[in-house]
């Protein structure tokens, strides 16, 4: 059931990435995830149990797609990633992985930092990257699951919003000051 749901999301995201137009995307994204997250003005709450391991759920936040990622505990032992693109740091001057740390469920803005397309989640990897990763189909941007750049033209990692875990939920909100991410980077 979860696998077919993931497949559906993967296929749907593939189509959305090809469209690449935010105006066309948002109504569709909202339709995809009507019950997975409650989204108030500037705030998203997602139940941790709603995100299958190695899955990415999609919702919207402040008018942009938001990816909620759930990684397996041993992802770094199981998979080797290509080197990060030199100089592609977030606005804190760090990699996203340095900001997110060991958190396995976290949120990333789903907008390619090259020209704004919607990256696709590739949980099975590919010939080019033999590990789960994000692929931006527009010009071949490649990102790790933490949103760090491993290939293509994106100049910086995917944006990481302020977020925290509270009880059984991941909360994303610009007002969060006590989370594991305290400011948008
Ligand atoms: S918009 Fe993503 S690689 Fe160009």
pLDDT tens digits along 110-158? 999 999 999 999 999 999 899 999 999 999 999 999 999 999 999 999 9
- The Cα–Cα gap between 120 and 85 comes to 19
- For ligand 1, say whether the CB of 117 is within 6 Å of any of its atoms: yes
Pairing of strands 43-47, 55-61: unpaired
Residue 40: which pLDDT band, with cuts at 50, 70 and 90?
A: low
Are the C-beta atoms of 69 and 161 separated by less than 8 Å?
no
Mean pLDDT, residues 13-18 = 44
pLDDT tens digits along 77-92? 999 999 999 999 999 9
Atom of ligand 1 nearest to the CA of 112: 2
Nearest to 109 by CA among 72, 156, 66, 74: 66
Are the C-beta atoms of 159 and 152 separated by less than 8 Å?
no
* Closest CA to ligand 1's atom 1: 115
Choose which residue among 114, 120, 134, 149 to substitute to test ligand 1 binding: the one with the highest number of ligand atoms within 8 A of its C-beta: 114
What CATH number is given for 2-173 in this structure? 2.102.10.10
- The Cα–Cα gap between 116 and 184 comes to 17
* 13's tokens: 């995201």
**Is the overall model pTM greater than 0.85, yes or no?**
no
- For ligand 1, say whether the CB of 114 is within 6 Å of any of its atoms: yes
In 87-151, which residue ranges form alpha helices assigned H by DSSP?
Answer: 96-100
A 10 A CB-CB count for 7 gives 11
Q: Which helix (H) or strand (E) covers residue 76, if one does?
A: helix 75-78
- The Cα–Cα gap between 101 and 94 comes to 11
Residue 28: which pLDDT band, with cuts at 50, 70 and 90?
A: very low
Greatest extent of the chain over all pairs of C-alpha atoms, in Å: 41
Domain extents for the chain?
2-173
Nearest to 33 by CA among 56, 14, 15, 1: 56
Order of strands, sheet of 43-47, starting from the edge strand that comes earlier in the sequence: 37-40, 43-47, 169-173, 163-166
Strand partners for 134: 121, 143
Atom of ligand 1 nearest to the CA of 153: 3
Of the CA atoms within 13 Å of residue 45, those in its CB half-sphere come to 7
pLDDT tens digits along 134-143? 999 999 999 9
């Amino acid at each position: 059931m979860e696998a077919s749901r993931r497949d559906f999301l993967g296929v749907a995201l593939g189509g959305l990435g090809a469209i690449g137009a935010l105006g066309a995307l948002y109504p569709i994204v909202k339709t995809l995830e009507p019950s997975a997250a409650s989204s108030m003005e500037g705030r998203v709450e997602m139940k941790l149990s709603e995100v299958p391991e190695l899955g990415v759920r999609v919702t919207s936040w402040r008018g942009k797609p938001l990816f909620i990622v759930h990684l397996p505990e041993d992802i770094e032992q199981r998979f080797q990633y290509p080197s990060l693109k030199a100089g592609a740091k977030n606005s804190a001057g760090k990699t996203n992985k340095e900001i997110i740390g060991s958190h396995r469920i976290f949120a990333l803005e789903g907008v390619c930092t090259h020209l704004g397309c919607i990256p696709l989640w590739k949980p099975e990897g590919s010939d080019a990257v033999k590990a789960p990763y994000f692929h931006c189909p527009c010009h071949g941007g490649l990102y790790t699951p933490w949103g760090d750049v491993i290939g293509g033209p994106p100049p910086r990692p995917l944006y990481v919003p302020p977020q925290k875990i509270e009880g059984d939920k991941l909360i994303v909100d610009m007002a969060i000051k006590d989370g594991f991410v305290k400011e948008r980077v």
